[in-house]
């Protein structure tokens, strides 16, 4: 599939879902939106804070998040490389883009992020989304204000319940997120959790498992199977250990550790960042791995006297 062919198909695909009819934002991105703070810049994508104003007198200025995917640059790069797997690679990228659009524009769930606007500007795909707090920022602020005390179970439980609700909805399709970490979980002012960052999500046929590792994720939150798939890819292995939607649940478990002990940024650094590899290599359950980590146990048992250690 060449660039022009894919862009033409993509434009026809997004035409019916360009605008969220429940909350209409301006359609013409270049005329109504002004990019401001840069939040992230990758090789083929970037994320900005953007502002827009509707017609004078109808609405005050509002802000949103805009994600730009440089599709033209991706196809040009693949063409320059001249790889024998160019067709497979472009197909893989196309599927990732389409799955992200499917989730943000078609799936309706209170715990799934949605798009205000989707537009193709020349060779770039631009997606405007709500501007929300991410979990990493909130946990970091809590850690600073409460002198490294763990989050209360009254805070952790509603967050985890809503994450699981959103994932259960995705897994029934089945879509595997593959990038669950504190920076891909967002919260509204009212405390509603929204799963985001679907650039690595995959739509799996029934009873099929995924073999390719996700990109640009935080390795501490990856399951042992996904970490192994990543290492095999770097070594050029032809086959990799498969994994399924259960890898997302592993990441949720590590999220809980993050909210309790601030892993992997905790000051004591008792739990190894590669603990998933250690568990797999030594066939060691998690509660055996942390058996001698007294500081870690104390943290888990001080979340409003809720005994996390007994659960683990």
- What is the SS3 assignment for 82-120? CCCCHHHHHHHHHHHHHHHHHHHHCCCCCCECCCCEEEE
Backbone angles phi, psi at 197, to 5 degrees: 60, 65
Name the token pair of 13: 């695909």
Angle of the 153-171 helix axis to the 246-261 helix axis, nearest 10: 170
pLDDT at 90 over 80: yes
Task: Determine the pLDDT at residue 236.
Answer: 53
**Which domains, ranges and CATH numbers included, belong to the chain?**
30-130 (3.30.200.20), 133-302 (1.10.510.10)
The 10s digit of each residue's pLDDT in 106-159 is 999 999 999 999 999 989 999 999 999 999 999 999 888 887 788 888 899 999
pLDDT at 235 over 50: yes
How many other CB atoms sit within 10 Å of the CB of residue 116?
21
DSSP H helix total and E strand total for the chain? 12, 10
Task: Determine the pLDDT at residue 309.
Answer: 43
Pairing type for strands 117-121 and 175-176 reads unpaired
Task: Determine the pLDDT at residue 151.
Answer: 86
SS3 content of the chain, % helix, strand, coil (to 5): 45, 20, 40
Q: Say which residue, 85 or 52, is predicted with more confidence.
A: 52
* Percentage with pLDDT > 70 across the chain: 81
Mean pLDDT to the nearest integer, 175-195 = 95
Q: What is the DSSP letter of 68?
A: E
Mean pLDDT of the chain: 83
pLDDT at 100 over 60: yes
Name the token pair of 12: 């026809």
Task: Determine the pLDDT at residue 58.
Answer: 54
Task: Determine the pLDDT at residue 292.
Answer: 62
Name the token pair of 115: 């798009």
């Amino acid at each position: 599939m060449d660039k022009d062919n894919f862009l033409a198909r993509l434009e026809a695909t997004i035409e019916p879902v360009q605008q969220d009819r429940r909350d209409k934002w301006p359609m013409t991105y270049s005329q109504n939106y002004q990019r401001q703070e840069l939040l992230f810049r990758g090789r083929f994508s970037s994320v900005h804070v953007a502002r827009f104003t509707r017609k004078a007198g109808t609405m005050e200025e509002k802000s949103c998040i805009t994600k730009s995917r440089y599709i033209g640059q991706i196809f040009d790069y693949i063409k320059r490389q001249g790889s024998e797997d160019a067709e497979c690679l472009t197909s893989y990228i196309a599927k990732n883009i389409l799955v992200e659009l499917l989730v943000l524009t078609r799936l309706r769930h209170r715990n799934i992020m949605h798009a205000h606007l989707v537009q193709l500007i020349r060779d770039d795909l631009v997606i405007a989304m709500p501007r929300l707090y991410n979990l990493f920022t909130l946990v970091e602020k809590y850690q600073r204000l409460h002198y490294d005390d763990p989050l209360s179970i009254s805070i952790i439980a509603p967050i985890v319940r809503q994450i699981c609700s959103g994932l259960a909805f995705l897994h029934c399709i089945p879509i595997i997120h593959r990038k669950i970490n504190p920076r891909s979980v967002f919260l509204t002012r009212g405390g509603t959790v929204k799963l985001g960052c679907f650039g690595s999500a995959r739509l799996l046929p029934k009873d099929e498992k995924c073999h390719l590792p996700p990109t640009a994720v935080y390795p501490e939150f990856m399951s042992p199977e996904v970490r192994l798939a990543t290492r095999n890819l770097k070594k050029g292995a032809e086959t990799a250990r498969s994994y399924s939607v259960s890898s997302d649940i592993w990441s949720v478990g590590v999220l809980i550790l993050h909210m309790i002990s601030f892993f992997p940024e905790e000051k004591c650094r008792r739990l190894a960042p590669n603990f998933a590899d250690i568990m797999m290599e030594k066939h060691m359950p998690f509660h055996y791995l942390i058996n001698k980590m007294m500081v870690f146990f104390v943290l888990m048992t001080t979340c409003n006297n809720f005994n996390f250690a007994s659960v683990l």
